[in-house]
């Protein structure tokens, strides 16, 4: 009589993912590969055989956060593998935490998986190959209804304040048919909002000369406009058009071509553009294009084509050499531009960045004062723009549905098309039906607003 054989217990992997959405996509891909190799995922430190920490190394403050996270993982578990952008600075990591088992750099998936195999060998039995393996889209670290779609890696710019090319290399675009196939699978699996990300979305395909590929029987170039047009053709299983949101879009001339797609409802009327500053002298010092006047003209034309377009951007204050006149120029430009969503950052030196050697550093007290002033201006602009939406009915995607209160009323939190997850505002809904679910897109009548958020009821 044969003795029944028991499959070995699965090894479990924990994950701490820090930094930007691009790093989050890296974490998803690493976990997907590990799951295909027979690993299970652990939701906490205690249950993990090994913990992965995907680090951020863009700013010194981010490095400090990464080192703290590594330290916490070591204290709670003891078996830690480090990957991500800060992995390029392995000496600093080992100096702070010599117990780390292995260190790899950004998007080095194979090296991470190999390190896990070494330090927590998978317990695969003889029949594991008979188990259906997950697809590339099976493991998500975001809610089911929205997904990040990374179209390229690296960057060809040499901005004075940035070390991304050092951390992630030069631009490396994914095949357009591979991107579209992933997007199609995500939407079929329940994604209602695709967030297109990269280091430079507008440059997609430049490195491979916009190589054409066949998709659905037609030729599609590896180019932002072709990709955007094809993403706009996707349909959910219910037959609706998913939201497609473009991030990290440099304002190259061909960006004008995607605005009509927004007006037609094929793309979400939203552009995330990293302007960084407006003063020509500061932009030159940053080694960024200094065509702020032309940008204002284009913003006006975009709004004429698509009145509901929302523009988000971020700006650096206190860059070396920034004078009071430069900063006032930026504030005046913002008053003219009337951007919908704005983030601001105090300049922070990054080890290895060219900006560190520039003359005339701005004192910390001045940085703080300028930061407060820019936030005051942008909050006022935001409050006015949101107040103008009172009385309108707008589409809102639901991110969270609450529990009934003592009177039985249910509240929910969602986002308008002007709001990307985690970085922009939200829409608070009152008295929603019990049938409302996360990922639903509903029409909402806006009743109130403040400087950042909207309040309304389903119409």
User: Does residue 379 fall inside a structural domain?
Assistant: yes
The CATH number given to whatever domain includes residue 290 is 3.30.750.200
The two tokens of residue 168 are: 């992630």
Containing domain of residue 170, as a range? 142-270
- Kindly state the tokens that stand for 15: 């994950």
- For residue 29, the model assigns a pLDDT of 83
Kindly state the average pLDDT of the residues 430-434.
Answer: 95
Residue-wise pLDDT for 202-224, tens only, equals 999 999 999 999 999 999 999 99
Task: Mark which of 255, 270, 285 sits at the end of a domain.
Answer: 270
Place of tokens 């497609």: 244
The answer to whether residue 3 sits within a structural domain is: no
CA 174 to each of CA 19, 91, 108, 200: distance values in angstroms, whole numbers, following the listed order: 22, 31, 15, 13
Q: Confirm whether pTM is higher than 0.85.
A: no
**Does residue 137 lie within any of the structural domains?**
no
φ, ψ dihedrals at 67, nearest 5°: -60, -35
Instruction: Say how many domains are in the chain.
Output: 4
In the DSSP assignment, the letter for residue 133 is P
Between β-strands 412-416 and 441-449, what pairing exists: parallel, antiparallel or unpaired?
unpaired
Q: Is there a contact between 55 and 82 (Cβ–Cβ < 8 Å)?
A: yes
Residue 457 β-bridge partners: 445
CA-based nearest residue to 20, from 73, 66, 77, 51: 66
Domain co-membership, 150 together with 259: yes
* Span 18-28, average pLDDT: 83
Q: What is the DSSP string of 299-351?
A: HHHHHHH-TT-EEEEEEEES-TT--HHHHHHHHHHHHHH--SEEEEEE----T
Residue 218 lies in a domain: yes
**Could you give the CA distance from residue 377 to residue 69 in angstroms, rounded to a whole number?**
35
Say if CB 174 and CB 196 are below 8 A apart.
no
In a domain, 181, yes or no: yes
Structure tokens at 201: 């979305």
What's the confidence (pLDDT) of residue 126?
A: 43
pLDDT tens for each residue of 243-277: 999 999 999 999 999 999 999 999 999 999 999 99
pLDDT single digits (tens) 278-289: 999 999 999 886
Q: Which of 388, 409, 427 is the last residue of a domain?
A: 388
Q: Which of 66-75, 119-128, 293-302, 355-364 has the lowest mean pLDDT?
A: 119-128
Check which CATH number belongs to the domain holding 231 and give it: 3.30.750.210
Torsion, Cα of 172, 173, 178, 180 (10° steps): 150
Q: Compute the Cα dihedral for 271, 273, 279, 281 and give only its sign.
A: negative
Q: Is the same domain home to 167 and 262?
A: yes
Residue listed under structure tokens 């930061």: 371
187 shares a domain with 229: yes
The reply to whether 441 and 336 lie within a common domain is no
- Shared domain for 366 and 300, answered yes or no, is yes
Contact 82, 100 (CB under 8 A): yes
């Amino acid at each position: 009589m044969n003795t029944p054989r028991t499959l070995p217990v699965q090894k479990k992997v924990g994950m701490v993912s820090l930094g930007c959405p691009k790093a989050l996509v890296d974490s998803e891909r690493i976990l997907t590969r590990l799951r295909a190799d027979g690993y299970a995922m652990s939701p906490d430190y205690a249950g993990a055989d090994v913990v992965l920490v995907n680090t951020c190394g863009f700013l010194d403050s981010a490095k400090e956060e990464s080192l703290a996270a590594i330290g916490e993982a070591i204290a709670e578990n003891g078996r830690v593998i480090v990957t991500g952008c800060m992995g390029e600075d392995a000496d600093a990591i080992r100096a702070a935490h010599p117990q780390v088992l292995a260190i790899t750099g950004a998007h080095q998936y194979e090296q991470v998986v190999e390190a896990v195999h070494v330090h927590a060998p998978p317990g695969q039995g003889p029949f594991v190959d008979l188990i259906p393996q997950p697809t590339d889209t099976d493991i998500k670290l975001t809610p089911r209804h929205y997904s990040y779609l990374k179209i390229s890696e690296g960057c060809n710019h040499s901005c004075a304040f940035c070390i991304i090319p050092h951390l992630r290399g030069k631009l490396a675009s994914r095949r357009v048919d591979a991107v579209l196939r992933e997007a199609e699978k995500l939407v079929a699996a329940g994604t209602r909002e695709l967030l297109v990300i990269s280091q430079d979305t507008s440059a997609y395909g430049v490195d491979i000369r916009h190589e054409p590929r066949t998709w659905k029987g037609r030729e599609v170039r590896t180019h932002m406009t072709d990709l955007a047009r094809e993403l706009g053709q996707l349909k959910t299983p219910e037959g609706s058009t998913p939201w497609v949101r473009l991030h990290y879009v440099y304002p190259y001339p061909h960006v004008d071509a995607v605005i009509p797609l927004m007006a037609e409802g094929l793309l979400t009327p939203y552009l995330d553009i990293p302007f960084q500053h407006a003063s020509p002298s500061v932009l030159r010092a940053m080694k960024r294009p200094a065509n702020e006047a032309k940008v204002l003209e284009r913003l006006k034309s975009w709004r004429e084509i698509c009145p509901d377009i929302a523009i988000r951007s971020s700006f650096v204050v206190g860059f070396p050499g920034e004078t009071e006149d430069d900063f006032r120029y930026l504030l005046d430009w913002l008053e003219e531009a009337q951007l919908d969503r704005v983030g601001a950052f105090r300049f922070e030196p990054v080890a290895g960045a060219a900006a560190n050697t520039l003359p005339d550093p701005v004192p910390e007290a001045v940085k703080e004062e300028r930061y407060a002033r820019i936030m005051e201006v942008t909050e006022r602009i935001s409050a006015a723009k949101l107040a103008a939406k009172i009385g309108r009915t707008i589409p809102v995607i639901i991110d969270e549905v609450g529990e009934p209160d003592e009177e039985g009323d249910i509240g929910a939190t969602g986002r308008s098309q002007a709001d990307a997850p985690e970085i922009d505002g939200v829409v608070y809904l009152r008295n929603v039906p019990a049938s409302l679910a996360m990922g639903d897109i509903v029409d909402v009548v806006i009743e109130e607003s403040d400087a950042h958020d909207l309040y309304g009821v389903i119409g």
